[in-house]
Structure 1
Amino acid sequence: MATKIPVDKFDDDLLTCPVCLERYKNPKILPCYHSFCEECLVKLNGPPGKVICPICRQVHIVSNIHTLPLSIMIDSVIDIIKTHESQRGDGSCQGCEENSSTDICIDCAVDLCETCSKAHSKMPVSLRHRIRPIVDFQAVELRESSMVAIYCSSHSDKLVELYCEQCRIPTCLLCLESCHKGHEVVALQGVADNLCMEANDRIKQLDQKKREAEVNKIKGKKQLEELAKTHLHREQQIKKHSQETIEKLIKIVTLEENSHLNKLKTNYDKLNKEIYNEVRRFETVEKQLKSTITIISNLLQYSSAAQLMKTSEEIYRQLNQLESITIDPLDEMRDALPLFRPGNIVLQGSLGTFRTLESPDAVYAEMELEKKIGGEGTAPGMYDVPLGVSVDTRGHIVVADNNNQRIQTMDICGRPKSQLPFKGYSKPVRPIDVAVYDNTYFVTDGTRGLNVGNNQVIVCNISGKVITCFGGEQLHNPYGIAINHKTGIIYVVDQGAYCIRLYEIESFKYIKSVGCRGNGNCQFEYPQFIAINNKGCLIVSDAVTNRIQVLTSDGGFKFAFCGSPNGKFHLPYGVTTDGKDNIYVCDGRNDRVQMFNSEGKFITNIANGRDVLSFPIGIAITGDGKVVVTDSTYFVKIFS
């Protein structure tokens, strides 16, 4: 059934021009399928020879508005409504012209009262006509509401009842012989019924598209809301980081300012004291000279000859004493204080960079080295051959400190939090890799070079208390370790047996092994580390075959891939994945960390070159997307 639309709704909802907001006048349709009044399109201001659609803003090349095609569908509906409006009259019966109309004959398009309706339905000529109550007429189907009386253009008193399929026009009986002789002519109603059936079928398909458009519209609105929230979050993030950076810079400049001011004050105090002492000395000499000169001058002026000669020796002594005083000139103060020469502060690095992770085919920029932590040593926060690295439930970075025979943890700022040594074993414990499950650490204790371990997995809590050890009966040399949190299966790379061992996390019971020695599918020559993505797939590095193999959770081979460019790795070690299942690989000898999508397609170098990395080994990703890497310089490096 067609969708029921009241006739009076067509004018408001469908037949109004979006520009003038009135009923269409000579509606023209643009190539984008939006319709407007011809006059409205003429009045639109746009580039010469071009029309910009007011709805979708598409630009169309149109030399003459008048040549645009007429929107026949809209024009036809307008004609139908106009005819309906003209034929409805004043609401009186068009049969007896006395009573008020209660019904309408769809086929004759006349309003009838109740009495005339009964008579009309019994007349042979109108026996099969469709008579409907006027109150229902507003809610009938589109096909029926549009079937008003259409008269032949050649015979104005004759209704069209036939359809010429050759000429594709409705016609009347009189035109059959004159205009359509020999043509295939059929009943108009049958053709209209076929048209309605076909149109209804296609409308159903369009309804499905409409529903799909509505669903996508709702999704789009949700995306707009999420986009606005994300934009606000990113904006706040940038402003916060900018303010923190400004405060750091102010602190640095303020410290240097205070240092300069203190240095200046020290020099000033020293010089001020020296000059003050000189001034006091000159004041003393001045007073002495002034007093003596005054006394001698008075004696010379007011004493008699006898009195002068009586004091002559004293006068000469005083004069000789004063003459012996040496008055050195005071040094110029021009360069007494150090001269301050303003310098230029040059900022290194940047406030930050944007990194898009929405699409596996997106373009990613290299990350920047945010900080490096540690260095060679045995003190807390120092390392001696750091290997595997992980992030625990508190967001702390957990490092297998191999030669120091311990696990070390630190916060994201690089502050040491704990050191977990392992004592009481037949051989020194040699941590190679560490995996985290809830508040528990799983540590592989294997052999690397001359450092021979106990070939087991040690399970301890975050305080270092050992819960159990397992795998000693099967493991030849445990290396990388990963845990599937959904299935509760522990995967241990057994480098010495060229395979992967599976254990139950509840009972630590051995399940089976996957793989064997070789360079084929699910075969290994020197397996290193392992990671698990969101789908439970295993990502395993092999340092001899220089490839990464991706296996199913049961150990079935999926695919393998190598580095980029040149199509190869050179001693790949640590591997990990992010929330999008992108794969990160420590490409040891090439001094780089590379990023691939979940299908092994190269995306970018996260970090590259000996200036930032030197033979990266272990790798992990923090909750906020920072990449943590251990390398042969005994540092833990954080990239963001």
Structure 2
Amino acid sequence: MATGDEYRVSNFNQSSKKFGASGLNVNNAHDVKEFNDEVFITDTNNHRVVVTALDGSLRRYIECQDESLNGDFDPWGIAISVTSEMYVTDMKSHVVLKFDTTGKLSQKFGSAELQKPYGIAMASANARSKILVVDLKRCCVCIFNHGGILLRVCGHRGKGLNELDVPRLIALNSKGNWIIADYGNRRLIIIEGEDNPPRSVSIKPENRNYLVRGVTVDEKDNIIVSVISHKTPMIGRHCSVLMYNSEYTYMGCISKPTDVYMPRGMCVTHKNEEKSLLVACHDGIHQYTFVETTSQTSHSSEKSIISY
């Protein structure tokens, strides 16, 4: 498998461009996913999911007026199965909503188990995949079956290897390993199968003290991490998008220091031969360019710190 040495962002320290046609109104986006040449964005403050083409042109809005919700639709995380089922976490109503990709609601689950669901992912690429839901208040990952029945809870609040501190988003690599953005502990937690002990990957490039907000992987299992510096007040915090290779070695900073504000969920898109990274941010979706390279020299010699 190629590593980040062979598949890198064109010119680390990039300036992004805004994704979407002019007039595309996205307010406080929290997550973004690609599926079947469409992009799905949780447009949280507008209480909807925005669906666009890969070029950013608007396709449709997905809204939910279900009376059982605790107020307005409050979408945060999003995952889409191989059978075109769209799962959205609703933070305010502490549920997972299941739609088809046209927006037809078919199921709700998790209200008895979830407190503040955020990140969500399909555990495998089969039609009856388990569903992984990150609960940032309970500090755990709840595992549901395809029918929405809770099977297991992994983790609890703390700083140990089996513990999490306000976890945010979750991604899976090609091996099915879970990669969890463990926000308060400033690290990624890697789970290589439900019954194996986790790994901890500290996210402290260039000795910066980062809180980890979001995570995604590309098709070569390079890991992309959205982070924010640990500083108060919120204004003036340093936000970045970082790249690690599949062996958890730091490759470089994709974004310029002031290029993104409050970055969260991300995905890698493919349009013809072009590859892009989309980053959900407070002010919309930012887009970076990916390219192939034959260079064997890492952008940074700094290694991540891995605990077992």
- TMscore range, shorter length: 0.7 to 0.9
Aligned to 1:630: 280
Displacement of 1:459 after TM fit? 0.5
Counterpart CA distance in 2 for 1:465 and 1:620 is 24
Aligned to 2:263: 616
Aligned to 2:33: 390
Counterpart CA distance in 2 for 1:486 and 1:410 is 23
3-state SS, counterpart of residue 205 of structure 2? coil
Task: Within 5 Å, give how 1:219-258 maps onto structure 2.
Answer: none
Q: What is the identity percentage for the equivalent residue pairs of Structure 1 and Structure 2?
A: 24
Aligned to 2:77: 433
Displacement of 1:598 after TM fit? 2.0
The answer on 1:424 being equivalent to 2:66 is yes
Q: TM-score, normalised by structure 2?
A: 0.82
Show CA shifts across 1:133-171 (max 9, x none). Answer: xxxxxxxxxxxxxxxxxxxxxxxxxxxxxxxxxxxxxxx
Letter of the structure 1 residue corresponding to residue 266 of structure 2: I
Residues 1:628 and 1:537: Cα distance change in structure 2 (over 3 Å): same
Aligned to 1:406: 48
Match of 2:12 among 355, 358, 366: 366
Task: Check whether the contact 2:27–2:44 (CA below 8 A) recurs between aligned residues.
Answer: yes
Task: Check whether the contact 1:441–1:460 (CA below 8 A) recurs between aligned residues.
Answer: yes
Alignment length (residue pairs)? 271
Counterpart CA distance in 2 for 1:363 and 1:464 is 35
Displacement of 1:390 after TM fit? 0.7
Aligned to 1:586: 226
Structure with the higher helix share, 1 or 2 = 1
Counterpart CA distance in 2 for 1:495 and 1:542 is 9
Aligned to 1:141: none
Match of 2:216 among 576, 586, 589: 576
Structure with the higher strand share, 1 or 2 = 2
Letter of the structure 2 residue corresponding to residue 390 of structure 1: K
Task: Check whether the contact 1:370–1:638 (CA below 8 A) recurs between aligned residues.
Answer: yes
Letter of the structure 2 residue corresponding to residue 502 of structure 1: I
The answer on 1:444 being equivalent to 2:92 is no
Counterpart CA distance in 2 for 1:542 and 1:469 is 26
3-state SS, counterpart of residue 403 of structure 1? helix
Task: Check whether the contact 1:444–1:457 (CA below 8 A) recurs between aligned residues.
Answer: yes
Counterpart CA distance in 2 for 1:444 and 1:596 is 27
Show CA shifts across 1:152-195 (max 9, x none). Answer: xxxxxxxxxxxxxxxxxxxxxxxxxxxxxxxxxxxxxxxxxxxx
Letter of the structure 2 residue corresponding to residue 445 of structure 1: D
Counterpart CA distance in 1 for 2:50 and 2:154 is 31
Counterpart CA distance in 2 for 1:619 and 1:468 is 25
Letter of the structure 1 residue corresponding to residue 80 of structure 2: V
Counterpart CA distance in 2 for 1:423 and 1:404 is 13
Gaps of 5+ in 1: 1-356, 447-452
Aligned to 2:306: none
Task: Check whether the contact 1:549–1:560 (CA below 8 A) recurs between aligned residues.
Answer: yes
Aligned to 1:152: none
Match of 1:471 among 110, 135, 153: 110
Residues 1:388 and 1:578: Cα distance change in structure 2 (over 3 Å): same
The answer on 1:515 being equivalent to 2:155 is yes
Displacement of 1:552 after TM fit? 2.1
Show CA shifts across 1:561-598 (max 9, x none). Answer: 22342345522111001111111100133321111122
Displacement of 1:543 after TM fit? 1.7
Aligned to 1:503: 144
Aligned-residue RMSD, C-alpha: 2.2
Counterpart CA distance in 1 for 2:200 and 2:26 is 33
Task: Within 5 Å, give how 1:308-327 maps onto structure 2.
Answer: none
Task: Check whether the contact 1:380–1:419 (CA below 8 A) recurs between aligned residues.
Answer: no
Letter of the structure 2 residue corresponding to residue 474 of structure 1: E
Aligned to 2:93: 454
Farther-moved stretch of structure 1 (582-591 vs 534-543): 582-591
3-state SS, counterpart of residue 255 of structure 2? strand
Aligned to 1:183: none
Counterpart CA distance in 1 for 2:221 and 2:78 is 20
3-state SS, counterpart of residue 566 of structure 1? helix
Which structure ranks higher in relative contact order (CA pairs < 8 Å, sequence separation ≥ 6)? 2
Displacement of 1:638 after TM fit? 1.3
Q: TM-score, normalised by structure 1?
A: 0.40
Task: Within 5 Å, give how 1:160-309 maps onto structure 2.
Answer: none
Counterpart CA distance in 2 for 1:454 and 1:637 is 28
Show CA shifts across 1:471-518 (max 9, x none). Answer: 11111111100112336111000112111000112x222110101111
Counterpart CA distance in 1 for 2:88 and 2:208 is 30
Counterpart CA distance in 2 for 1:496 and 1:630 is 21
Task: Check whether the contact 1:482–1:530 (CA below 8 A) recurs between aligned residues.
Answer: yes
Displacement of 1:369 after TM fit? 4.6
Counterpart CA distance in 1 for 2:7 and 2:204 is 15
Residues 1:418 and 1:572: Cα distance change in structure 2 (over 3 Å): same
Aligned to 1:381: 24
Task: Check whether the contact 2:20–2:55 (CA below 8 A) recurs between aligned residues.
Answer: no
Residues 1:626 and 1:371: Cα distance change in structure 2 (over 3 Å): same
Counterpart CA distance in 1 for 2:19 and 2:113 is 36
Letter of the structure 2 residue corresponding to residue 495 of structure 1: L
Counterpart CA distance in 2 for 1:370 and 1:521 is 35
Displacement of 1:362 after TM fit? 4.4
Task: Check whether the contact 2:177–2:192 (CA below 8 A) recurs between aligned residues.
Answer: yes
Show CA shifts across 1:581-635 (max 9, x none). Answer: 111100133321111122321112122311x222211211113531000212x22
Show CA shifts across 1:368-407 (max 9, x none). Answer: 45631369xxx97201211111111x22111111111100
